[in-house]
Amino acid sequence: MERFFGLAERGTSIRTEVLAGATTFLTMVYIVVVNPGIMAAAGIDHGAAFVATCLAAAIGSVLMGLLANLPIALAPGMGLNAYFAFAVVLGMGISWQVALGAVFLSGLLFLAVSLLRIREWLIGGIPLSLKLGIAAGIGFFLGLIGLKSMGLVVAHPATLVGLGKVTEPATLLGVFGFLLIAVLTARRVPGAIVLGILVTAALGLPFGLTKFEGVVSLPPSLAPTFLQLDIAGALALGVGAVVFTFFLVDLLDNTGTLIATTHRAGLMRPDGSVPRLGRALIADSGGAVIGAALGTSTTVSYIESAAGIQAGGRTGLTALVVAALFLAMLFLAPLATAIPGFATAPALLFVACLMAQALRDVAWEEPTEYVPAVITTLAMPLTFSIATGIGLGFITFAVLKTASGRAGEVSGAVWLLAALCAVKFALG
């Protein structure tokens, strides 16, 4: 295990990797509750969607751990699942079987461009300033999700957002959990994040906010969704726009996640390149294909992996631990769903504080570098979309460089991505 994962080389240990995997799992386990509900809205059997979600997360994480040796977990992506259910199935009137066929086709497209190293070329062509802006922007995006889940930030009809009811027990517990994680980290206590999550969840028991309803249950049947995708139907309908949207959003989201997490883990090279990127992209693409076959929307790399990285995860062993826990989740659904959102939200907010450090290395003396970085950082949380933030950043970078007479500094990858994003924005 030491030789395969290079634990000593990356300054970690089996104990640390297991703890990191548990931390990542706790911050993303909400997906086993949320995703089946969204899939059910599209007409997919809820129980089968639950099993498909767990299996897709486990298989995708195993691929990432073994192929790329990166501490990044995979699962069906938030945003893409909503697009699948509400825009494609309910909005366009396409059956969920055909929609799964479109996800499968987009997964094959991901895999093809990954094997041909096109995706690696695209990511490698992104300038360092944009990569730093992406890392910080995803941190702010996580921070907004954390604040919202804690109840500190709520919707407001006049100002878009406002302060929530800070006297609510769940909000107070969330604030306590965040401060606990911060204090434990400042005191160099190992496993600060996972300890904060567990303590906060336990404190919710007396208030009835954490509901413990048992430990073990048998998993539902996967039969209603397994291999039920309609590839021929997707091809016959000519759902090119749907496949393109799945492809582009997955490309941008995963680009952002890989950049942000490897930067946070200290694995990004000084020139901004990501080690073992090609294998990471193949793992991600393979996960998308397998997820569609199982019966769920596109599987993606999860930015919540940053929580496990902060807990010390540096190798693919972290991802394998996450995979094992998702497999266990098939039988431990009551236990996993007992961890409430206000207990995991403090971890996301704390990770946001850490990821904001990426802005420190932006070239602040050069407007054509820092303006696109800041636009990217701000747009992600304010549009509630990683892909939109990255797209606006690419377009801003290309326009500023060109208008400044420095078009030669814009790589072909940035031009291509900026053009694709512009088309997507124009088409809505």
Structure confidence at residue 323 (pLDDT): 95
Higher-pLDDT residue of 224 and 33 is 224
Look at residues 337, 372, 395 and tell me which one is the last residue of a structural domain. Answer: 337
Look at residues 337, 371, 391 and tell me which one is the last residue of a structural domain. Answer: 337
Percent of all residues in the chain with a pLDDT value above 90, rounded to a whole number? 19
Distances (CA, A) of 355 to 136, 142, 264, 308: 5, 10, 7, 13
Pair (422, 333) in one structural domain: no
Structure confidence at residue 103 (pLDDT): 85
| Nearest residue to 293 (alpha-carbon basis) of 30, 111, 79 | 111
227 SS3 class: coil
Query: Is residue 410 a contact partner of residue 402, using CB atoms and an 8 Å limit?
Result: yes
16 in any annotated domain: yes
Pair (231, 326) in one structural domain: yes
Pair (308, 409) in one structural domain: no
- What is the C-alpha separation between 326 and 274, in angstroms, rounded? 27
User: Mean pLDDT score of the chain, rounded to an integer?
Assistant: 83
Pair (325, 395) in one structural domain: no
Structure confidence at residue 49 (pLDDT): 87
Structure confidence at residue 396 (pLDDT): 95
Pair (263, 375) in one structural domain: no
Full residue range of the structural domain in which residue 389 is found: 362-427
Distance, first Cα to last Cα, the chain: 48
Q: Is the pLDDT of residue 321 over 90?
A: yes
Structure confidence at residue 175 (pLDDT): 94
Tens digits of residue pLDDT in 27-43: 787 778 777 877 887 88
Q: Is the pLDDT of residue 6 over 70?
A: yes
Query: Is residue 165 a contact partner of residue 311, using CB atoms and an 8 Å limit?
Result: no
Tens digits of residue pLDDT in 235-286: 776 555 566 667 766 676 677 777 777 776 677 666 666 677 778 878 888 8
DSSP 162: E
- What is the C-alpha separation between 214 and 201, in angstroms, rounded? 15
Look at residues 302, 337, 372 and tell me which one is the last residue of a structural domain. Answer: 337
Pair (75, 221) in one structural domain: yes
Pair (41, 134) in one structural domain: yes
DSSP 199: H
| Nearest residue to 75 (alpha-carbon basis) of 88, 91, 56 | 56
Pair (381, 268) in one structural domain: no
Q: What angle do CA 15, 21, 27 make, to 5 degrees?
A: 140
Query: Is residue 219 a contact partner of residue 331, using CB atoms and an 8 Å limit?
Result: yes
Residues contacting 188, CB < 8 A, separation 6+: none
The length of the chain, given as a count of residues = 428
Q: Where are the beta strands (DSSP E) in 60-152?
A: 74-76
Pair (134, 226) in one structural domain: yes
Pair (300, 234) in one structural domain: yes
398 in any annotated domain: yes
143 SS3 class: helix
pTM confidence score: 0.68
Higher-pLDDT residue of 371 and 213 is 371
Structure confidence at residue 370 (pLDDT): 93
Pair (310, 389) in one structural domain: no
Query: Is residue 123 a contact partner of residue 253, using CB atoms and an 8 Å limit?
Result: no
| Nearest residue to 150 (alpha-carbon basis) of 286, 287, 314, 343 | 343
Q: What is the CA radius of gyration of the chain?
A: 21
Q: Is the pLDDT of residue 201 over 90?
A: no
Long-range contacts of 263-266 (CB under 8 A, 24+ apart): 263/131, 263/132, 263/135, 263/358, 264/135, 264/306, 264/309, 264/310, 264/354, 264/355, 264/358, 265/71, 265/309, 265/313, 265/314, 266/314
Domain count, the chain: 2
DSSP for 22-66, please give it: HHHHHHHTTHHHHHHHHHHHTT--HHHHHHHHHHHHHHHHHHIII
- Supply 194's token pair: 């996972």
Query: Is residue 313 a contact partner of residue 17, using CB atoms and an 8 Å limit?
Result: yes
Question: Out of 7-11, 119-123, 152-156, which region has the weakest mean confidence (pLDDT)?
Answer: 119-123
Pair (405, 281) in one structural domain: no
Query: Is residue 340 a contact partner of residue 170, using CB atoms and an 8 Å limit?
Result: yes
Q: Is the pLDDT of residue 234 over 80?
A: no
- Supply 408's token pair: 């030669």
Q: Is the pLDDT of residue 88 over 90?
A: no
* Structure confidence at residue 303 as a pLDDT band (50, 70, 90): confident
Question: Out of 81-85, 330-334, 355-359, 422-426, which region has the weakest mean confidence (pLDDT)?
Answer: 81-85
Question: Out of 64-68, 339-343, 402-406, which region has the weakest mean confidence (pLDDT)?
Answer: 339-343
232 in any annotated domain: yes
* Structure confidence at residue 183 as a pLDDT band (50, 70, 90): very high
Residues contacting 9, CB < 8 A, separation 6+: none
Structure confidence at residue 119 (pLDDT): 66
303 in any annotated domain: yes
Q: Mean pLDDT throughout 68-96?
A: 80
| Nearest residue to 395 (alpha-carbon basis) of 410, 380, 405 | 410
61 in any annotated domain: yes
295 in any annotated domain: yes
28 in any annotated domain: yes
Structure confidence at residue 68 (pLDDT): 84
Q: Which residue reads 């407001």 in tokens?
A: 156
216-252 b/e with 16+ CB inside 10 Å = b? eeebbebebbeebbbbebbeebebeebbbbbbbbbbb
148 in any annotated domain: no
Q: Which of 1-10, 95-104, 350-359 has the highest mean pLDDT?
A: 95-104
